[in-house]
Amino acid sequence: MNQVPGDDVPWWSQPLPTSTTPATSTPATSTPAMSTTPLASARPKLPILFMLALALVAGVLGGGVGYFAAQYSDDRVTSDVRGPFTDTSDGRALTTSTSTIERAPGSIAGIAARVLPSVVSISTESNAGSGTGSGFVIRSDGYILTNNHVVADAANSTGSITVQFNGGKSISAEIVGRDATYDLAVIKVNLTNLKSLVLGDSDKVVVGDSVIAIGSPLGLTGTVTTGVVSAKDRPVSAGGRFDSQNSFINAIQTDAAINPGNSGGPLVDATGAVIGINSAIASMSSSRGQSGSIGLGFAIPINQAKRTAEQLIATGKSSHPILGVSLDLQFAGPGARISTLPGAVVTGGPASEAGLLSGDLILSLDGRNVANAEELIVAIRSHAPGDKVKISYVRAKKTIEVTVTLVAAPAN
């Protein structure tokens, strides 16, 4: 854990650890360590062998399609697969199926058909090189939501951004606003009458819910993968190389296959509504660069993303809630301890007004147990300025509970 560097700097401006994935020790069996990785991808060049491998996989997996339960109407998308084909060696017709495949609106295929037209592939060019990511339309007049780390390279140089829609149409895009703290960005294309996605309610998501991830892993546009919500409220760090501040997100964890290039794409529920933005994966530490999916993907909850996107569209900036304390990042927990350095509790800030002092040990926020400083940070960032939260803390072996009103962090 990093030591708090300043004597009177509040925690929202301090450097934080580069990963909030729970630390895993390396036992004698040399199990690899794990780290979280943002999912923007350098644009790939697919070798012939890789393309052959893709063809083989497609051939093997053709019959392995599962279905979500149909929940709405009896409308069907049908596909007639009748022949005939002719064997030119003897002129006889081969036997082919004449059955009709029914795909309910609530099936994976039905949901993908509705969602894919609103999902885009994002390509960037900058002095740092090229990269790809994903995004999705949130307003019919051209506004697209993605991750900050997808477009950060282009924003911090004389770069360019190109958006490609599922039908193949490409168009340049401009940045409306970025938020490195939440790893979110809104870009805009000069198009109207676009089909926007329905935004769901991430607060209602439960572990075990079926989900679909859609995006452009390794530049392969329109890729659809499925899984479940594996966990909620995972403190995860993500971000790009051009932003000095790590983004700490209160993530939804999923086992849907997510890979570099999926960043910014939607994670949708069984109704096709967006519940999260795919942002990071846990991967085995390796000197060979980014790894692929190991079934540990993380998405920014859409409720948090929606609030930030609305602010970015309205003003180009967004606000962040703060408690007004500096945390002792060397304290291993359980709990998050307020630093004992001078100025650790900002005079006149929310914590100060509620009576918190240096050295107090915060155990929970709104009933959610806090294991360490990172968990407290993401718990606070899941709220909005003006929210009232209950904080339980320990001082001199006595547990105290107070209500704190969060305020907006000062503008940089």
- Give the tens place of pLDDT for each residue, 5-42: 333 334 333 322 323 333 322 223 333 334 455 566 55
* pLDDT on residue 49: 37
DSSP type of residue 92: P
DSSP type of residue 256: S
- Give the tens place of pLDDT for each residue, 75-91: 444 444 444 444 555 66
- Give the tens place of pLDDT for each residue, 390-409: 999 999 999 999 999 999 98
> Measuring CA to CA, which residue among 224, 286, 275 is closest to residue 253?
275
> Measuring CA to CA, which residue among 185, 190, 119, 192 is closest to residue 152?
185
Q: Is 291 left (phi over 0), alpha (psi -120 to 50) or beta?
A: beta
- Statement: residue 154 has pLDDT above 60: yes
Mean pLDDT of 276-286: 80
d(C-alpha 317, C-alpha 314), whole Å = 8
R_g of the chain computed on alpha carbons: 24
* pLDDT on residue 90: 61
* pLDDT on residue 284: 65
> Measuring CA to CA, which residue among 137, 157, 155 is closest to residue 146?
137
Please give the C-alpha separations between residue 50 and each of 46, 47, 55, 112, 130, in angstroms, as whole numbers: 6, 5, 9, 25, 21
- Statement: residue 304 has pLDDT above 60: yes
To the nearest 10°, report the CA torsion of 21, 22, 26, 30. Answer: -50
**Domain ranges across the chain:** 34-46+99-317, 320-408
- Statement: residue 150 has pLDDT above 80: yes
Report whether 266 contacts 136 (CB < 8 A).
yes
Give the angle 276-261-112 at the CA atoms, nearest 5°: 55
Whether 34-46+99-317 shares its CATH topology with 320-408 is answered no
Among 76-80, 222-226, 261-265, 302-306, which stretch is predicted with the lowest mean pLDDT?
A: 76-80
pLDDT tier for residue 309 given thresholds of 50, 70 and 90: very high
The residue behind tokens 């401006």 is: 13
Helix (H) or strand (E) holding 240: none
Residue range 34-46+99-317 forms a domain whose CATH class is: mainly beta
Sign of the Cα pseudo-torsion (323, 175, 195, 110, in order):
negative
Q: What is the pTM of this model?
A: 0.74
Please give the C-alpha separations between residue 250 and each of 202, 236, 303, 352, 380, in angstroms, as whole numbers: 11, 7, 11, 25, 9
* pLDDT on residue 156: 73
Sign of the Cα pseudo-torsion (297, 302, 306, 308, in order):
negative
- Give the tens place of pLDDT for each residue, 356-372: 999 999 999 998 999 99
Catalytic residue ranges: 149, 183, 263
Q: Are strands 274-284 and 266-268 parallel, antiparallel or unpaired?
A: antiparallel
Structure tokens at 183: 């790893």
Report whether 185 contacts 211 (CB < 8 A).
no
d(C-alpha 336, C-alpha 396), whole Å = 15
Residue range 320-408 forms a domain whose CATH class is: mainly beta
d(C-alpha 144, C-alpha 188), whole Å = 6
Can you give the three-state secondary structure of 112-161, one letter per residue? HHHHHHHEEEEEEEECCEEEEEEEEECCCCCEEEECHHHHHHHHCCCCEE
- Give the tens place of pLDDT for each residue, 228-249: 999 999 888 765 554 545 678 8
pLDDT tier for residue 292 given thresholds of 50, 70 and 90: low
pLDDT tier for residue 351 given thresholds of 50, 70 and 90: very high
Amino acid at 317: K
- Give the tens place of pLDDT for each residue, 119-131: 999 999 988 888 9
Sign of the Cα pseudo-torsion (310, 312, 349, 336, in order):
positive
Report whether 21 contacts 36 (CB < 8 A).
yes
Mean pLDDT of 253-270: 95
* pLDDT on residue 40: 60
- Give the tens place of pLDDT for each residue, 88-107: 556 667 767 777 787 888 89
Mean pLDDT (the chain, rounded): 79
